[in-house]
Amino acid sequence: MERDFLSIDDLSAEELAGLLDLAAKAKAQPEDYAGRLRGKSVAMIFEKPSTRTRVSFEIAIAQLGAHPVPLSSTELQLGRGETIEDTGRVLSRYVDAIVLRTFEQERLEVLARAATVPVVNALSDFEHPCQCLADLLTVQERRGGTAGRTLVYLGDGNNVTHSLLLGCAKASMHIRVATPPGFEPIPQVVHRAEEIAESSGGSVRVLNDPIEACRGADVLYTDVWASMGKESEAEERALVFPAYQIDQRKVELAQPDVMVLHCLPAHRGQEITSEVIDGPHSAVWDQAENRMHTQKALLLWLLGAF
């Protein structure tokens, strides 16, 4: 039976570690993996705008020797009322995997039930698991491993936060999430992350004080204050979130060699200052590049070609 990747929680801790190691190998020796998926095709459906996800997946697929088929919902009959289930059934007859960037997590789950090929969550309103793979690879590269490291996320308790909670817990990390009151991550996700952390040796903490959260951090992480679909709330959020901006003061509260991450796109001067994102602690551009390497590893693993 084919495996899907709809959530970081679809992976065991051992599978996650193996994927990160495979990504590191694919990054260090891309020639060893070129052509591993020759003769295969991957459909990429985008119902939300994309820069990093679109380009990193398309290049990864091509470098593995497969044929990427990028599609928007307006190009498909989805735009004229065909169901996501029927789309999945048809595409399964043509391609070897389907990548979907969409709104509701349920849409991915419905597609995965109907499709007979692996389905990948390339972002939903609930999770962004492909981003989390790249985040963890970046920490592993820069720190020699993930276990015991403390990652602090400042900002909105959004899809990126949910994947980080689950992923950091599986990677034996300590994660602190600091949000304004009322913007915390979904309690069920926090509870699941706490369950994972109990067995992994990690820990999970959700709080509202950004200063307290940043003290002693190995990694500082942020995201836009208003995610896609929440743009109408941007002005309201701009009044609530400034205390959660990653600026030089937050960097100085963390470890001297703290690493700064941002999943991008960045709104400079809002959730992060230009001084920090362009500064010596920033690993943002390595993090963005690692989307391609971790997605290579993911496709190799899902299609049994590693």
Active site residues: 101, 128, 131, 223, 263, 291
Phi, psi dihedral angles at 41 (to 5 degrees): -135, 145
- Three-class DSSP category at 264: coil
Q: What is the DSSP letter of 31?
A: G
Q: Are 156 and 183 in contact (CB under 8 A)?
A: yes
Instruction: Cis check for the bond before 265: say yes or no (omega within 30 of 0).
Output: yes
Rounded Cα–Cα distance for residues 243 and 241 (Å): 6
CA atoms within 13 A on the CB side of 215: 4
What is the identity of the amino acid at 20? L
Rounded Cα–Cα distance for residues 186 and 192 (Å): 10
Cα 241 from chain centroid (whole Å): 22
Q: What is the 3-state secondary structure (H, E, C) of 129-192?
A: HHHHHHHHHHHHHHHCCCCCCEEEEECCCCHHHHHHHHHHHHCCCEEEEECCCCCCCCHHHHHH
Strand order of the β-sheet with 174-178 is 203-207, 174-178, 150-154, 219-222, 259-262
194: its two tokens: 């706490």
